[in-house]
Structure 1
């Protein structure tokens, strides 16, 4: 059987294969730890809702600061391997602290201070992939990026059902930490062994020549920030789906947690083949046009949830949701990296700024929607705002062209 065209360059290039392996491992790590951190904070370590909210704010600010700071340093000094090793070290240290000394103090230190310092890893992996992809024909590069994003999503489809079975058998929730530590250790070992030495890469990676302040000013230009904000509305819609899916199913349709998990699992499972098929569309539609269509499909899924939640037709929403998700989870990342094409580290850091904007937008839309009309209105408002943001992005680039 012939390999998909987007997979061939990855399987033939050791650095792209390394990027894919690291993203798969990082995806498995995130799928193991992220869904259960809040439950551990409240039910195991006894943090109040307010205390955990404060922890999340601190962690978010520190994670974004680390992503931006490390990204700028990587561009300034072209020392991407050192930055990746340092970030991987924080990942191992935070998970190790919770493995060998679990306590409320350790939880706060790990999740508020140590683990957020590894926040640049995701961007650094894509920066490596983007630089390695410059050795391939330009027409292949968007497909390579989309396929590697699918590599990060794939473990979520496999890992979450496994943990569901494991916890159903009575295994303590805190078991996720030693398992996560093993994955973090393997990830760090791969970086140490296979990441190319700084200054000895097959592709040109010159130092930026900019001071830290100059790099920050470059990222803070109006043309950059307005596009990050527009893409933030799309990220906010994706985040809002994760917030409202359980609330809509339980509060509107009176469905149980099993239906919620099944819907999320089907959606995540369908996103992967759509991501792998995405290279067939890339190049035929403008990138901003494709993002708009992706948000339109995702908006159908998000806005349709409260309308169809009580009917069997709700399961059909997973199809436009997955098709749109495949686009809005991959193309904004590629767009942001190209926005500062000469600065791979800073370009990757823009993903962290997009996430920060998206999280703030999600929180605001959820609060307003829930107050005025319930969870269903919040979902519809989030879908509409994401569509407006995608349209604004298309209009900005159309005007520039």
Structure 2
């Protein structure tokens, strides 16, 4: 197991890696749940008197979201209620001068680490440890804290390089995310374990189903993956209409595995009984799967499906959610996602809700995070944790 902030000695100069990668609108970064979560770790370190410098990334080179972190510093300052200084440099002279000027309890945000070519280089952890980024910054600090669980599946320089040469610890976000998200592999539950799967990336979910079938008693499907499984079951759904380009390519890639899963675990895979769509009047309408012909996009599971799924999660000992059951951003088609989340929240069962979109539904419809065991802010790392795959960041901290 890795060390945590509970193991961090006093009076250490600390380099912290966080993940506040966020949407950018009209050039301005948007606040989201990640800022609030990481602010708690930074506050704990600053309140303990550690001088703190922060590494983070935003976007990727060549994309519109690839911007500097000045706006991120302002948002973090608002969450912390104290100034987070920003320097438009990552490990050059300006950055080093600012780092050396840090006093106890002060926080400094360095420039977007992905503006450093070495960060994204395809190298081993040993090679990353010998990069100029690591060799320059590491001597300026006594300890490294990785709080960026949502990048834990990336073997980038700022993730795996520093633990090779520094005393390293997990921040509170890293610690909580890892413990909750790996529970499906690490814990034993006395009762039924249910997994709710939806969203648009069917390939990820199909892979999850293959890897956790020995741990999960039933899968409740919706979204794109739900339609693809319905197609394999013989229903006239699960293909593209109206230029959606969401189904056919994923079907071509995953058909064989989908059919195998249905054949082997069909009794444990619950498929929608009805689906919702927008009628000619712009209202929500529903249709039973019996004899359905797909002529328009389906945007949610239907009310009969919701009732069945609610009943199943209510009797579960543990429920894991990855992806939305419908287009919840449109209130007309939020019933599947929101009603099932509400049913989970009302139980005393262990529950993890993962994936950025699903977590956003909790905020959008006024649900309380405290009613779930954990709400994950990770995407790819959450999928890897569910399947039991190793995470480079976790391996680096454990080593």
TM-score by length of structure 2 reads 0.22
* Greater strand fraction, Structure 1 or Structure 2: 2
Per residue, is there more helix in 1 or in 2? 1
Structure showing greater radius of gyration is 2
TM-score w.r.t. length of structure 1: 0.22
